[in-house]
Amino acid sequence: MKRFSFIIVGWFIGASVLAQETATTEAESIVDKVTISGFMDIYYSYNMNNPGAFGNFGTNGVGRIFDGQHNQIAFNMIQTKVAYTSERLEIVGDLLFGPGGALANFGNTGSSIIIKQAYLAYGINDEWTFSIGQFGTHIGYELVDAPDNFHYSLSYLFGNGPFYHTGAKLDYTASDKLGFMIGILNGWDNLIDNNLAKSIALQVSIMPNDDFSLYLNWIGGDEDPSFVTGDSLKSFKHMIDLTTSYAVNKDFNVGVNAAIGFYKFDSQSTKKWGGAALYLDYSLSNQFALGFRAEVFDDVKGVQYVGASYVGYTLTGVITTANEHLFIKPELRFDTSNRNIYFKDDSGSVTDNQFTVGVAFIAKF
């Protein structure tokens, strides 16, 4: 009997140890499949117009996107992204907090205002990938993520385009040089669609070699204006976007982004908007690079809420330190418009241009 009792006790101890080892192995396996990343950015900007509390935004509120504060040490946003990858499945939760985060996610409401991305992607095979949820836009040269842009301030072209989409998309990799994407979306920057119509997104990506990439994008649907609800097709809004990047050599990169959009509501005449931006980036060393951006943007019809045209020039330095986890970006920017939309002083008077001097501190992990 005692021998039997010892056997039973030994079995329980062995089973317990085995269960603990199995749980530990499974936990280690899960940890190996989870990645956590993120960034935080803080900036200081001084506007030579000295607009006081009016800041850099201008009278229409979109003179600048994220870096709108004048003579303030300003926190913009902090991001935390968690991704789980297992075989062909990827689950992504990407959260943004702060003034810039609320602006980037402005189509979301309530607790969803912090969601930048929340999607799952399933690799059906080596060529086809299906994604569904909320994900960053496929349109434009720049990104919401400050570490991934050369310049700190956003261009008018990207800043007045979509930031994200909610829907489903299918990517097809024809080869290492050619890819296609088609998506069905709840419009532009919308968590919830305001009518029964959907927007369609298309992309063709061409990469002839490691130095050159080209993306041709299109998005269109009956999604505007926001007060039009129901399933009647009263409006149609669509745009074509071209994004290219060419590495002349290991130190010098040239980028071009151009887009044109069309909007027609009911029997009204078609309204257009669009623009282009040229990017020239040169690395002087592993720790310092210099970049120049020249851009034009025209939305005199107010389709994208601007109601003006712009020309802008931006010169940015990038100092890389802390083992490539901290980027310091001093920046000079000159904006001019066909209208007096920039605040001239703190009295509320306006002018057609503004010149800002600033520096941004961007830390990533």
pTM of the model: 0.89
Q: What is the pLDDT of residue 144?
A: 95
> Which H or E element spans position 139?
none
Question: For residue range 3-62, what is the model confidence (pLDDT) as tens digits?
Answer: 544 444 444 455 454 455 555 555 556 777 999 999 999 999 999 999 999 999 989 887
The pair phi, psi for residue 184, each rounded to 5°, is: -115, 120
Q: What is the pLDDT of residue 225?
A: 57
How far apart are the two ends of the chain, measured CA to CA in Å? 60
CA-based R_g, the chain, Å: 25
Per the CB < 8 A criterion, the answer to whether 58 and 342 are in contact is yes
Q: What is the pLDDT of residue 26?
A: 52
Length of the chain: 365
3-class secondary-structure state, position 111: helix
Question: For residue range 319-347, what is the model confidence (pLDDT) as tens digits?
Answer: 999 999 999 999 999 999 999 999 999 89
CATH code of the domain made up of 119-364? 2.40.160.10
For 12-39, what is the HEC assignment?
Answer: HHHHHHHHHHHHHHHHHHHHHHEEEEEE
- Tokens standing for residue 11: 């079995």
**Angle 320-279-50 from CA coordinates, rounded to 5°:** 75
> Which H or E element spans position 314?
strand 308-321
* Residues of the chain under the 70 pLDDT cut: 1-29, 224-233
Instruction: Please report, for the chain, the start and end positions of each structural domain, with discontinuous segments joined by +.
Output: 119-364
Q: What is the pLDDT of residue 358?
A: 97
